[in-house]
Structure 1
Amino acid sequence: MSRQLCGGVGSEKTATPDIQQIADSMKSKIEEKANKTFDVFVVKSYKTQIVSGTNYFMKIHVGGDDYIHVRLYQDLPCRNSEREISAVQTNKLHTDELAYF
């Protein structure tokens, strides 16, 4: 089993129910940042980066051929475990690489 180095971005993984729940809990803030609303909102894949918390990079299907990429930060559990949306990229396709942004 490979281990992710602190500060490095891990490999892309298929989304899990836990990752979907994190995205769902932040959907309204993601929509606000993207200046759009989404009827479809399904996380397809994600990467993580361990920093002073965790950055989640998510590839989210938002209907038709449209995807968005979201960078979400979650503080360490020993703190207050707050989440914030760092960045949203719109007009993405399923084939677009999920990379640091």
Structure 2
Amino acid sequence: MSDRRSEPLPGGFFGPEPANDEIQKIVDQVKPQLEEKENVKYEVFVAIEYMLQIVQGKNYLIKVSVNNSTDECVHLKVYVNLEGEIILTAYETGKTKCDPLTDFE
């Protein structure tokens, strides 16, 4: 019997997986977009885990730590189109490291 937990449902997200260097680079690129929308400067912005959805490009749900002294996080929804453009499409603030990644708009 195979373990199918990390395999995507058709059109759905799969994961979560631990963040890697590729995910951190995506997070680094959308950080200014979030800071502008929230009118906040984040001293800490470290990707923790992510989920991936393959579409015409890729959608990522990414949990990001924003504070070293608390477990405060933000959840980002990021779209990377076929040309490689990285766009922050949605986000949720006020999350913690314990909050699971789920799809949102």
* Correspondence for 2:45: 41
Match of 2:86 in 1: 83
Name segments (4+ residues, structure 1) moved above 4 Å: none
Q: How far did residue 5 of structure 1 move?
A: 4.9
Contact 2:48–2:65, Cα closer than 8 Å, also in 1? yes
- Structure 1: distance between partners of 2:85 and 2:79: 8
Q: Give the conservation status (yes or no) of the 8 Å contact 1:6–1:49.
A: no
- More relative contact order in 1 or in 2 (CA 8 Å, sep 6+)? 1
Q: Is the 8 A contact 2:46 2:65 kept in 1?
A: yes
**1:70 has 2:76 as partner:** yes
RMSD (CA atoms): 1.6
Matched, 1:26 2:2: no
2:95 counterpart of 1:92: yes
Q: Which amino acid aligns with 2:64?
A: I
Q: Normalising by the residue count of structure 2, what TM-score does the alignment of the two structures yield?
A: 0.85
Identity of aligned residues (%): 37
User: 1:66, 1:92 within 8 Å by CA — same for their partners in 2?
Assistant: yes
Q: CA deviation at 1:88?
A: 1.0
Q: 1:31 Cα shift? A: 1.5
The AA in structure 1 aligned to 2:91 is V
Q: Which has the larger radius of gyration?
A: 2
CA distance in 2 between partners of 1:89 and 1:34 (Å): 11
- TM-score, length-scaled by structure 1: 0.88
User: 2:57 matched to which residue of 1?
Assistant: 53
Structure 2: gaps spanning 5 or more residues: none
**Aligned residue-pair number:** 98
